Structure 1
Amino acid sequence: MDWKLKKFEELKIKDIYKILEIRNEVFIVEQQCAYQDCDGKDENAHHLYLEDNDKIIAYLRILNKGVSYNEMSIGRVLVHKDYRGKGISKEMMLKAIKFIELNLNEKEIKIQAQAYLVDFYGSLGFKETSKEYLEDNIPHIDMLYKK
């Protein structure tokens, strides 16, 4: 398995297709959530993903300040259902946080967490900053990480 971290312009067409494929599989099909995945933010993101046998099995995107929030943000966090429960999401989030702190010199990260994952993100240092609300009919909570 091989971790990759690329800016949008560094991605090949095949990479973009595989990213969109796994995001659609998890967020639209598995979670039965009809929403506009291609939101114009991918071009302003770093894409962190894990491949196994040329298939993306874990993914997130890191958005610069001002793209979604005043702070840096992490979104579209996913692990393929066949690879869950193995610590991959924690490893991936820690890689993203470390990259943001060390390479981008940022100390705050905002996320829009699905409510059932609040404890997971809390274990990584994120604190709740909002009450629960619905986003695309899924309960979410805003959370903030400060170094």
Structure 2
Amino acid sequence: MRTASEAAKAIVKATAPAIEKHGVEITTAMYARLFTDPAVKAMFDQAAQTSGEQPRRLANAILAYAKNIDKLENLGPAVGRMVARHVETGVKAEHYPLVAAALLPAIRDVLGADVATDEVLAAWGEAYWMLADILIAAEAQAYEDQQAA
């Protein structure tokens, strides 16, 4: 499982105020990029997209992650809910690179290259993959448990 470096964690925590202020804009831009793939778009509740509920929910999750990246145990219940929802909607390990490819450019699009520098995006990339690995492992276990039941 990948981990984020201490430097990356510090950068992610330092960007939390920008995420708090612009999170919904970032997640809305991310979903616009992600939904160019019709198969991925079909996995999502479009009513929750239209209402803004899903972009808000994801923005809040990203903010909580940024604030707690050095205390992941604080996120246990939220991670459990994400895993359950991902299993319910059929999210698989192969979807995570698609999200990364949509999220990281969306951060730069919204915050601008002067704030979302290459260093900042690299830190968020490390942080993203650290969380993705946690989710992928938990989801694999949940799918296994589901099959065994």
Q: What TM-score do you get using the length of structure 2 for normalisation?
A: 0.31
- Higher share of residues assigned helix: 2
Higher relative contact order (CA 8 A, sep 6+): 2
Q: What TM-score do you get using the length of structure 1 for normalisation?
A: 0.31
- Higher share of residues assigned strand: 1
